[in-house]
Amino acid sequence: MAILPIGHGGFGINTNLFETNIINLAVVVGVVISFVGNNLTALLEDRRKTILNNLQEANQRATDAQEKLNAARAQLEVAKKKAQEIREEGVKRAASEINTVVSQHEIRLAKLQEFKQETLQFYQQKAFKEAYLYVISKIMTRVRERLTKGLNPTYHVVVNNFYVSRFTDYSPKK
């Protein structure tokens, strides 16, 4: 029950329960808001600040994480480029080494071929010399045999004819 003003400034009892309950509820809500409202407002404000701080920290961490991710991606790209450069350098070096080895091999083969030709010429000359010495030795042996045995009439005529033919072909130079 609530006490309400009646008429011209007098007080009376209002018997309407619904209105009384609404008035009582309004008074209670007013008292709660006036006493608890400031504390609740401060509590809600603290909670709002905490939530905002948490959101800002989360945003900052997300930004930091994104920056680290971007830095890591950049490092990955640099590493990929470096790896590609190393691969290309390796291929170039391998090709260069192959070319060097091939050219050295060709030079060695040319030197071996030259040595082979020199060796072949040396042994040919040696064989010709040995053959020449053998033929000369045989001729000298036959000449000695002829000289030691003496000249027979037929051979004597052949030798004389040879010297006569040479003498007739001879003409003194003027």
Q: Is 129 helix (H, G, I), strand (E, B) or coil?
A: helix
Euclidean distance between CA atoms 5 and 26, whole angstroms: 17
Q: Which of 18-27, 68-77, 101-110 has the lowest mean pLDDT?
A: 18-27
Percent of the chain scoring above 90 in pLDDT: 50
Nearest Cα residue to 51 out of 67, 59, 37: 59
Q: What global pTM score does this model have? A: 0.41
Q: Is 8 helix (H, G, I), strand (E, B) or coil?
A: coil
Burial class (CB in 10 A: 0-12, 13-18, 19+), 14: middle
Helix count and strand count (H, E) for the chain? 2, 2
pLDDT value at residue 67: 96
Euclidean distance between CA atoms 23 and 29, whole angstroms: 10
Nearest Cα residue to 12 out of 3, 24, 21: 3
Tokens standing for residue 9: 């400034």
Backbone angles phi, psi at 151, to 5 degrees: -95, 135
Kindly tell me if the per-residue pLDDT of 2 is higher than 50: no
pLDDT tens digits, one per residue of 10-54: 566 666 777 788 888 888 888 877 777 777 778 888 999 999 999
